[in-house]
Structure 1
Amino acid sequence: MATETRSRVDHPLDPLTREEITAARELLEDARDVAPESRYVKIVLDEPAKDDLAAYEAEDESVDRRAFVIVRDREARTTYEAVVSLDGETVVSWEEVPGVQPSITLEEFDECERVVKANEEWREAAAKRGVEDFDLAIVDPWSAGHHLVPDDVDRERRLAHAMSWIRTSEEDNGYARPLDGIHAWVDLDEMTVVKVLDRGTKIDDVVNDLEDAPYRESERDLRTDLKPYNVDQPEGPSWEVDGRKIEWQKWHLRVGWTQREGLVLHDIGYEDDGEVRSVVNRASCVEMSVPYGDPDPNHNWKNAFDVGEYNIGRLANPLMEGCDCLGYMHYFDAVMNDASGEVNVVPNAVCVHEEDFGTLWKHTDWRTENTEVRRSRRLVVSFVATVGNYDYEFNWYFYQDGSMQPQVRLTGINSNGLVAPGEEQPPGYYEMMAPHVKGMVHQHFFNFRLDVDIDGRTNELYRRQNRPIPKGPNADITWNGVEDTGEVNPTGAAFYAEKVQLASEQEAQDLIDSRKGRYWQIENPERTNSLDRPVGYRLVPGENVESCAQLDSSVNERATFISKHLWATPYRPDERFPAGEYPNQHAGGAGLPEWTEADRSLDGEDIVLWYTLGVNHVDRPEDWPILPAHLASFKLEPVNFFDENPAMDVPPEHAIKDIHERRAAKYEDPDSVSRQRAEDD
């Protein structure tokens, strides 16, 4: 099932509707001199402050509905920010933001390809590589960065660094034949090519000397032994959806959307004894950094910020029933604007469905031969974005035991380059994926912003990790409050889970350490459970890697957030993105490194966690032509938040469906129902 794009607003956090986007643009153009060639980079909800939302929830106080607008004036080469009151029908503010470059728009993607393919220098370079039909070329405008822009290209211009490939037909895998060595820098304001650099050919005839890499259904011989797998929910799903609010298995959450982040989740709470207890106020993936490790000058400059430089929400896919999601689905459309300020809708951008997830809990009493087992079910809220060659699926899983798990699945086509015949392969900088086609070693870093409110805004942060005890006397160890001066650890096996408060921003900057079982715990000192323990949640790392970028590298200067896996800050409404509001072409230093210099207190504060999830990608031929989905995630789990396992009330399968009847239908044996029921009795 799919939703229609809703025109009504049920809550102050609901994204802008079609009508509101149009109204915001018209109000702005009526009040200000918006140049006709300007691009509307974004028209999004200006999210209300937390205090205003609290007043709305507690006292039903009205909240002014506002739009936040970013406009790029191409002729003046400057950027403007505006706030428009939709309720008051006025422009609240209109300010120039000089010296910044907003994210690249879809329209600039398309126009950039067109102007590069029409450029004579680019055509001459492509012809050297066997290209005759220039219409079959594809051009991807990569973000140019800052430090590695050529000296003869003005960094103050709005730039894209264009890379090219050539197809052999309209339906061909366009990324199978890279036109390696051709670089084009494009001024996106003027939409002109300002520099073409040809570093030389490695394959003289890319069109004929490289292999096809087909991946479409019509181009491959498919397996014939795969049987249908149906997810059947004849009574419908276990969730309830009201507008953009979801209730499922005691979880309460609200689905939001921005062009920059894509899926945003608000007001995440868990119902306990009739009270919806807050866990996370706002959660999303707020930035990405994808640095490449190959020193080849054709690729060593690559470090895309797919959220801040491209607006990953704007690149969302319409999701397909039976492929992206199985079972009973509910969809939310993404209502956004295009560069002209007109409404653009991505249908079915967010999918909500349930999944079976194996065993939730089980115990067999071997003395009484009694077995109790519960199946785990999880709610999935997801969206998928395609950024050029890569496809990213963002899943937010909610479990019946009170835990939640953000996950990224990476698939699509690896960015690639060429290797000349007889070229000696340096160790580890790249791996061969196909004849003459290399995949460069690279990393993906996803930064998640979690505005945690564990039973309220007064929170503390702790590091937890294993601490072994030396054998022999140890004056630092006490037992029941009495110093033990004897043999504390005679077996040599004693250890404990150390708990250290991270009371300031500098203390909170941390790296994972799986050898020590390190995780981080957020507690509310003002709320306790029945054991008189402060209620809390813990952030448990999953797969992760450390950044390989040197501290003085362009990568680290611009994406400093990848240097630590955990950052924490006190909540501030204007601190939203870890590399700053405008990372495109920025020299670096904005965002988390700038804010945390003050080393503000985190003791009893409204804490925001910033978790960096890293993926190491050493390519292999099995990643070609399409990368099998690579999964990376972390988890938020309750600690003393409840008095016992909150999933004890989950019913067994036989309590919610007639498993005997379903078994008989499966094996077409009606008599087995009565036989099995008799045995159970």
Structure 2
Amino acid sequence: MIKRLRYFFLLAIAIIVVVSISFGLMGKLSAQQPSISHPLSALTEAEITTAVSVVKREKTLSEMAVFPLIALQEPDKEEVLNFTPGKVFKRQAFLVIYERSQNKTFEGVVDLTSKTLNSWKEIASVQPALVSSEYELATQVVKDDLRWQAAMRRRGINDFERVKISWWTPGILSEQEEKTGYRLCRGLFYYKGERWNYYGSPIEGVIATVNLNSGKIASLIDTQKVPFSQDNWNYDVKSLSKLIPPLKSLKILQPNGKSFQLNDNQISWQGWNFRYLMHPRSGLILYQVTHKYSGNVRPVLYRASLSEMVIPYGDPQPTWSFRNAFDVGEYNLGLLANKMELGKEIPENGLLLDAIFADEQGEPYKIPGVIGIYERDNGMLWKHYEYNTQRNDVHRNQELVMTMTVAIDNYDYTLNWIFRQDGTLEVQNELTGIVLAQGTAAEKQSSESSYGQLIAKNIIGVNHQHFFNYRLDFDVDGKANSVMEMNVNALPMDDKNPLGNAMVMIEKPLAKETVAVRDLDMKHSREWMIVSADKKNTLGAAPGYMLMPEGNSTFFPVEGSKIRERAEFATHHVWVTKYKPSELYAGGDYPNQTQAGEGLPKYIADDESLLGEDIVLWYTMGVTHIPRSEDWPVMPVHRVGFKLIPRGFFSRNPAVNLPE
């Protein structure tokens, strides 16, 4: 009897221990899983795995099939706007599948709850973004080619392992390349030698084009023999003989902690509230941006993202004229985001966040510290000094910055979303990295290098431009919005304006999509405003948010040029469209080897009304880069951006009642 009791006692203890361990383990596992509390929560690793397994179960894929893109299928806008915590919502994944053996592209949508394939279709005659295995394939194809080996030997290079290849999408295609429809990439060559900064030694005059479907060289250009730079252009501390004395330490401290709150992918700070996602193509996207003031929560933007980029180079030689990169759609900019460090890309008071992506095989992986968020001081917010009383009122400008950095071959970009206490949302892009160098025999600037500038011995920096297009889905005080163009005019001298100093601001509604294709005009200080179509402020005017441009440029490729036809979005600064959920990319869904007129030109072809509608404003900003010696061997940061500023949205300066 005692033995039996002892047996049951020990058994009960064992059961309790096992159950306790199980519950503890379950708790650990559940704690490790990201919460899916909202329709716009990021895809989890488990959801990516589910999506890929459903596609493989339902469709017979070859061994050469790859997944260039796996992302959250954005839920219906109405569903998101009407969502309340605890409410059931759809979870879907969007996948792009490329079959290289068939040269076919497919799109699929997977229901992650029911684990079913909701949609599957072939997208004819398109090429998705390049994937890393194709770089490896193309490299092997080229280095095994006898013609390429001969071209290297002509330049005194016998050790082919010392040659680094940078792979680009083909850019501008020849007529023959367009007819075949094959998937292509083009290789640029650099002599690496013993140095890590091989961009300083371009092997000029040789370009290889690889047919990725056949795994063979499609064409090889081997023109003039040009000496490549033998200088060491490494720029780390170890490679520099003389260093500038360091400044004294500058510390940024927040002894009372951070002022922003983070819950899942939702952030709130100083009246602002928004969600964010890291998208494999567009990078950092903001959703449901609202502002709370005097107890009222008011929508400003539903979705804001970088839509596309294009970088046209200005040298007509056949080894250069094809170079017109669409960095977002041709390379999946979001996947090129890199890990940041506190005290480097962002200050030490910041917070680094992770992101989940999928590789080309559909395997999920995490990039740690790929998103940065921090608060910073940026000078004065407002001030007035009263001479009579010697009263001095001043408030510092504290900002919240959300940022990501990407390395796209030689160039580096930082994309910043900046929230201010006066209700302003600013976009600021930072350009840095290494100028795309051209080899030359020249050691002095001459007319022979008129398409660029000699920035070092044997190195030309080719003239080029960087254009960024942002898609801004405004919901100012609701979805019913209109767009106004504001022009300032000087009035002629007459009886009413005897001194000729009068000026007026004229507001004009842009009623249709084709009318709303606009450009900057410094003569009239032109700006644009998105206003509520059904609400008024206390002064009887429509509340709005104004697009305030900063530095910009015109697109220099001339009428009739192929890059102008492919990148038509860059030929105008402002486009406005009626909201359609499928219209996300200014250069079209598949800019790699695309035809002319994709993206925004097609979106406005139906010329829909923009009065009192759910509208999207697309803003294009550009930088014209004429390189200089100070840009070499690595560029100082150049900044370009724009602001979204409240205009009649608040009844007064919303930063007046900030405590000192």
TM-score range, shorter chain: over 0.9
Change (3 A) 1:199 1:441: same
- Matched residues in 1 for 2:451 and 2:180: separation? 29
Match of 1:388 among 405, 409, 429: 409
8 Å Cα contact 1:113-1:138 kept in structure 2: no
8 Å Cα contact 2:463-2:627 kept in structure 1: yes
- 1:196 counterpart = 2:223: no
Equivalent residue for 2:22?
A: none
| 1:438-517 alignment, distance < 5 Å | 438-472=460-494, 487-517=495-525
Equivalent residue for 2:152?
A: 126
- 1:184 counterpart = 2:204: no
Q: Secondary structure at the match of 1:99?
A: coil
- 1:92 counterpart = 2:114: no
8 Å Cα contact 2:221-2:319 kept in structure 1: no
- Matched residues in 2 for 1:489 and 1:32: separation? 75
Greater CA deviation, 216-225 or 307-316? 216-225
- Matched residues in 1 for 2:431 and 2:329: separation? 18
Q: How far is 1:53 from its partner?
A: 1.1
- 1:284 counterpart = 2:310: no
Letter in 2 for 1:355: R
- Matched residues in 2 for 1:136 and 1:216: separation? 21
Match of 1:19 among 20, 43, 46: 46
Letter in 1 for 2:466: H
8 Å Cα contact 1:153-1:195 kept in structure 2: no
Per-residue deviation, residues 255-280 of structure 1 (Å, max 9, x unmatched): 11211101101111111222221111
| 1:517-528 alignment, distance < 5 Å | 517-528=525-536
Change (3 A) 1:122 1:344: farther
Match of 1:554 among 532, 554, 562: 562
- Matched residues in 2 for 1:461 and 1:46: separation? 29
| 1:252-651 alignment, distance < 5 Å | 252-421=273-442, 424-426=446-448, 428-472=450-494, 487-651=495-659
Letter in 1 for 2:70: I
Letter in 2 for 1:156: G
Equivalent residue for 1:218?
A: 238
Equivalent residue for 1:165?
A: 190
- Matched residues in 1 for 2:156 and 2:579: separation? 56
Greater CA deviation, 341-350 or 619-628? 341-350
Letter in 1 for 2:463: V
- Matched residues in 1 for 2:309 and 2:654: separation? 34
- Matched residues in 1 for 2:249 and 2:428: separation? 27
8 Å Cα contact 2:203-2:226 kept in structure 1: no
Per-residue deviation, residues 581-621 of structure 1 (Å, max 9, x unmatched): 11100122111111212221101111100000100100011
Q: How many residues align?
A: 628
- Matched residues in 1 for 2:68 and 2:213: separation? 13
8 Å Cα contact 1:411-1:627 kept in structure 2: yes
- Matched residues in 2 for 1:189 and 1:342: separation? 23
8 Å Cα contact 2:532-2:543 kept in structure 1: yes
8 Å Cα contact 2:283-2:335 kept in structure 1: yes
Per-residue deviation, residues 113-135 of structure 1 (Å, max 9, x unmatched): 34323332222212222223211
Q: Secondary structure at the match of 1:28?
A: helix
- 1:112 counterpart = 2:138: yes
Greater CA deviation, 443-452 or 115-124? 115-124
Equivalent residue for 1:658?
A: none
Equivalent residue for 1:39?
A: 66
Letter in 2 for 1:213: W
Q: How far is 1:36 from its partner?
A: 2.0
- Matched residues in 2 for 1:432 and 1:508: separation? 41
Q: Structure 1 vs Structure 2: percent identity of aligned residues?
A: 35
8 Å Cα contact 1:65-1:85 kept in structure 2: yes
Per-residue deviation, residues 349-406 of structure 1 (Å, max 9, x unmatched): 1100011000001111111111111000111101011111000100111100000111
- 1:28 counterpart = 2:55: yes
Q: Secondary structure at the match of 1:508?
A: coil
- Matched residues in 1 for 2:339 and 2:492: separation? 58
Q: Secondary structure at the match of 2:441?
A: coil
8 Å Cα contact 1:153-1:194 kept in structure 2: no
Equivalent residue for 1:659?
A: none
Change (3 A) 1:102 1:231: same
- Matched residues in 1 for 2:132 and 2:37: separation? 30
- Matched residues in 2 for 1:633 and 1:509: separation? 20
Change (3 A) 1:137 1:154: farther
- 1:78 counterpart = 2:104: yes
- Matched residues in 2 for 1:367 and 1:335: separation? 59
Change (3 A) 1:346 1:33: same
Q: Structure 2-normalised TM-score? A: 0.92
8 Å Cα contact 2:105-2:126 kept in structure 1: yes
Equivalent residue for 1:145?
A: 171
- Matched residues in 2 for 1:115 and 1:588: separation? 30
Letter in 2 for 1:395: N
Q: Secondary structure at the match of 2:602?
A: helix
Q: Structure 1-normalised TM-score? A: 0.90
- Matched residues in 1 for 2:378 and 2:523: separation? 27
Letter in 2 for 1:398: F
Per-residue deviation, residues 387-436 of structure 1 (Å, max 9, x unmatched): 11000100111100000111110000111212234895247421011111
Equivalent residue for 1:232?
A: 253
- Matched residues in 2 for 1:324 and 1:347: separation? 14
Change (3 A) 1:592 1:153: closer
Q: Secondary structure at the match of 1:561?
A: helix
Q: Secondary structure at the match of 1:594?
A: helix
